[in-house]
């Protein structure tokens, strides 16, 4: 297992076989690149044990916060929601760019703890699940204040290992001019009682603070909301001064949502996430990395 760093602007050689790697960095310029790991680095806050996708690195700092990075799957069943705690990464460099394949093992679930006491009761889990749903639907109620209270009382979420329900293969084709093509293959996930699949595209809310879409909507920080549906053709998340950021497009047979949460010491993410039905075998979308060729 080795670490690799590729430069798309001047490929030193062409490869024909994939290599397994622990980490891989794809530079677009002297200041902007994409990073991926086979483990759960950078292990920030609540998502420390969860696998990440592509992470934006700007001025040598990973700007992901508590976000998941680009192209990270979550599968929701009727009785449980599964995250990925294990993965493998394979890379291939060609003349026209880099291809990264990450296989996410869906083997982690979220559990609540009050102090050192685990809340395993199904009823209590349902209560907290309904709280999360209300918060997402009614972000203007400022329920982050309630979330902060829960934290002060010692209530927290932990991710714990569970019996895997399969794995999801995500392929990232990273090309010139900051283009990223993402394809997720759900063929190897258990289908019984599967309700929804999510593909998360999240970075840090302390760096990326501006939302803009094709309908002319412009929002900053708290205005973005917790989990709001995007009806525009495309939407961007960016850093206001440099305009470094990313753009995603609305896709048929899916729901695109914008979201942001920041609670000092606990929450720090902003992103554009897709919700997909359980019958999809694959899902493809594009990400445009803004500022990829203007930063030096």
Q: What pLDDT, in 10s, does the model give residues 64-120? A: 999 999 999 999 999 999 999 999 999 997 777 899 999 999 999 987 655 554 545
What is the structure's pLDDT at 294?
Answer: 60
Q: Running DSSP on this structure, what letter comes out for residue 251?
A: -
Looking only at the bridges linking them, the beta strands covering 19-27 and 2-5 are parallel
At the second CATH level, the architecture of 2-290 is Distorted Sandwich (2.70)
Q: What is the pTM of this model?
A: 0.83
Q: Is 155 exposed, middle or buried (0-12, 13-18, 19+ CB in 10 A)?
A: middle
Nearest to 274 by CA among 193, 200, 185: 200
Q: Which residues of the chain have pLDDT under 70?
A: 1-16, 112-157, 293-296
Which residues, including other chains, have CB under 8 Å from residue 158's CB and lie 6 or more apart?
110, 111, 112, 113
DSSP helix/strand/coil, 117 = strand
Nearest to 273 by CA among 198, 179, 187, 169: 198
Nearest to 208 by CA among 104, 93, 85, 70: 70
What is the structure's pLDDT at 128?
Answer: 47
What is the radius of gyration, based on Cα positions, of the chain?
19
Rounded to whole angstroms, the Cα distance separating 113 from 135 reads 19
> How many other CB atoms are there within 10 angstroms of residue 178's CB atom?
22
Domain ranges (residues) in the chain: 2-290
Nearest to 64 by CA among 33, 90, 91: 33
- Please report how many Cα atoms fall inside a 13 Å half-sphere around the Cα of residue 10, on the Cβ side: 1
What is the structure's pLDDT at 77?
Answer: 95
Nearest to 265 by CA among 148, 158, 160: 148
């Amino acid at each position: 297992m080795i670490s690799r760093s590729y430069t798309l602007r001047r490929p030193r050689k062409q490869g024909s076989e994939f290599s397994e790697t622990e980490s891989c960095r794809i530079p677009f310029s002297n200041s902007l690149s994409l990073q991926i790991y086979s483990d759960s680095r950078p292990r920030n806050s609540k998502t420390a044990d969860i696998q990440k996708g592509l992470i934006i690195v700007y001025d040598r700092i990973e700007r992901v916060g508590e976000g998941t990075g680009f192209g990270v799957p979550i599968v929701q069943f009727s009785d449980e929601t599964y995250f990925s705690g294990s993965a493998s990464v394979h890379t291939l460099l060609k003349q026209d760019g880099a291809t990264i394949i990450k296989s996410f093992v869906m083997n982690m679930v979220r559990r609540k703890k009050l102090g050192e006491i685990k809340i395993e009761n199904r009823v209590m889990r349902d209560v907290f699940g309904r709280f999360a749903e209300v918060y997402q639907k009614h972000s203007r109620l400022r329920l982050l204040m309630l979330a902060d209270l829960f934290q002060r009382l010692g209530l927290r979420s932990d991710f714990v290992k569970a019996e895997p329900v399969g794995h999801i293969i995500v392929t990232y084709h990273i090309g010139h001019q900051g283009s990223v093509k993402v394809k997720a293959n759900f063929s190897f996930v258990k289908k019984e009682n599967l309700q929804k699949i999510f593909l998360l595209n999240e970075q840090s809310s302390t760096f990326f603070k501006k939302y803009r879409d094709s309908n002319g909507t412009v929002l900053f920080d708290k205005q973005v909301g917790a989990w709001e549906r995007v009806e525009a053709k495309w939407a961007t998340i960016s850093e206001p001064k440099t305009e470094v950021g990313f753009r995603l497009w609305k896709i048929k047979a899916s729901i695109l949502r914008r979201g942001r949460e920041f609670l000092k010491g606990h929450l720090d993410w902003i992103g554009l996430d897709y919700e997909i039905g359980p019958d999809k075998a694959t899902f493809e979308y594009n990400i445009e990395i803004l500022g990829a060729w203007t930063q030096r």
